[in-house]
Amino acid sequence: MPFGVVQVPVWSDNYAYLLIGEDGDCALVDSPEAAPILELLAERGLRLTHIFNTHHHPDHIGANAELAECHPDLEIWGGVYDSDHSRIPGQTRALRHQESFSWAGSNCQVLEIPGHTLGHIAYAWDNGAVFVGDTLFVGGCGRLFEGTPQMMEHSLYSVLGALPGDSLLYCAHEYTEANLRFARSVDGDNAPLLSLCDEVSHARREQRPTVPSLLSDERQYNPFLRCDSEAIRRATGASSQTPRHEVFGILRSMKDRFRG
């Protein structure tokens, strides 16, 4: 039986995820803050065995050390780049692109998706759950803090984009409303996008999360997955001959400057 996923809201807009196996063992995808995690573990009587870090930013690895103190046998896994550069506290295993492992009776494939950072990885499980960190958000994508537009375009289209359409994407932030405001500014005639805007507004008024999302849906309304579309090329001033990574780079720069 596949593990269960419990979304853990942290601070104003972060999400961590507890993966819960049948035997009471659990794993954590990213560790922004220890207190809510420890509280949930105690409340449910769970044993934390692993942390699966997506990348090295403080709001993803900040609680590693405290959680390891409370769980001395804790395994902390992350990408090989971050391991080589000692960027993830307590890391015990370095994961490479397309490496597979099993946990709680489920199989996972590691995907290197640089762009937001050089060491960013995703965890793609055989039950369809994909933990994408800060690379792909609902209706948006992460800033390019370390990588290039070409790297991120490859990560979005050739790596994550190669996954099945029914992949359920768990991102690490509740950025959807802001992302959709930008999306409407560049793709305002997109019917699926306009419909989603209404759904998201209603959900957030009721303080419900907008995460996760389906990859097939993201392809319809996420402008960063629509760089081949006429609408996005027109909005960026690109021609039909402009390489997709250049269109993406223009679009990402537009988002960085957007104040709508």
Q: Could you list the active site residues?
A: 55, 57, 59-60, 116, 134, 173
C-alpha 250/C-alpha 38 separation (Å) is 42
Terminal alpha carbon distance of the chain: 44
The contacts found for 156-159 with CB under 8 angstroms, 24 or more apart, are: 156/113, 156/115, 156/224, 156/225, 156/248, 157/225, 157/244, 159/111, 159/112, 159/113, 159/122
Cis ω for the linkage preceding 2 (within 30 of 0):
no
Are residues 34 and 59 in contact, defined by beta-carbon separation less than 8 angstroms? no
Give the Cα-Cα-Cα angle 97, 103, 108 (nearest 5 degrees): 30
Tokens for 9?
Answer: 């809201």
Instruction: State how far the alpha carbon of 89 is from the alpha carbons of 26, 57, 110, 113, in Å.
Output: 20, 11, 19, 20
